[in-house]
């Protein structure tokens, strides 16, 4: 159980650093283009690829730390038992979605790998590099969701939600 938490956290941390790297790459692209009139061939495409990986891989860490955006109008009206039921139902929905994405997404990435499809851009990267991010990230999300389901059903205290003053 802790291994999944640690993996989610490590991947989430890597995703954060990936966003930082994207910022550096795009800043370099802007400087190269506007100050030196020498745009790069790699910065935009590579930053887009890293963005896809970072965005989807961060899902599991966000779930683990209960930091996904939520609307709590209804759940704030519920008691502790109602909130627990709502959490379990939500986690089951997330798990079903993750399994569906893995089921339909993995063959797409594998097909691109088998056929040697590329982006057709300046870098001509293999398509599966971006496509593989989706089923792999949703696999990690599914594992983390199963773990959170076990915790929710097992009676672990529900996370406290921070409210925005206003």
From 35, 46, 3, 8, select the one nearest 137 (Cα to Cα).
8
Instruction: Calculate the alpha carbon distances from 96 to 7, 26, 131 in Å.
Output: 21, 36, 20
Domain residue spans in the chain?
Answer: 2-153
Q: Is the separation of the CB atoms in 145 and 95 below 8 Å?
A: yes
Summarised one tens digit per residue, pLDDT across range 14-50 is: 999 999 999 999 999 999 999 999 989 899 999 999 9
> Residue 126 — φ and ψ, nearest 5°?
-65, 135
d(CA 72, CA 100): 26
pLDDT in tens, the chain (166 residues): 799 999 999 999 999 999 999 999 999 999 999 999 998 989 999 999 999 999 999 999 999 988 888 778 888 888 888 989 999 999 999 999 999 999 999 999 999 999 999 988 888 899 999 999 999 999 999 999 999 999 999 877 666 655 555 4
Give the list of residues 6+ apart from residue 9 with CB closer than 8 angstroms, or none: 61, 64
Instruction: Calculate the alpha carbon distances from 149 to 14, 18, 42, 47 in Å.
Output: 25, 29, 41, 34
> Residue 109 — φ and ψ, nearest 5°?
-65, -45
Q: Enter the pTM of the model.
A: 0.86
């Amino acid at each position: 159980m802790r291994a999944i938490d640690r993996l989610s956290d490590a991947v989430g941390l890597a995703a954060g650093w990936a966003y930082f790297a994207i910022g550096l790459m795009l800043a370099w692209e802007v400087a190269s283009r506007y100050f030196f009139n020498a745009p790069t061939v790699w910065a935009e495409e590579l930053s887009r690829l890293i963005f896809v990986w970072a965005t989807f891989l961060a899902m599991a860490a966000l779930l683990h730390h209960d930091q996904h955006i939520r609307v709590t109008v209804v759940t704030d009206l519920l008691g502790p038992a109602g909130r627990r039921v709502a959490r379990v139902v939500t986690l089951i929905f997330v798990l079903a979605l993750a399994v569906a994405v893995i089921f339909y997404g993995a063959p797409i990435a594998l097909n691109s790998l088998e056929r040697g499809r590329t982006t057709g851009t300046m870098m001509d990267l293999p398509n599966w590099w971006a496509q593989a991010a989706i089923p792999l990230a949703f696999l990690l999300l599914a594992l983390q969701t199963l773990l959170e389901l076990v915790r929710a059903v097992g009676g672990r205290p529900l996370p406290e939600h921070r409210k925005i003053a206003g």
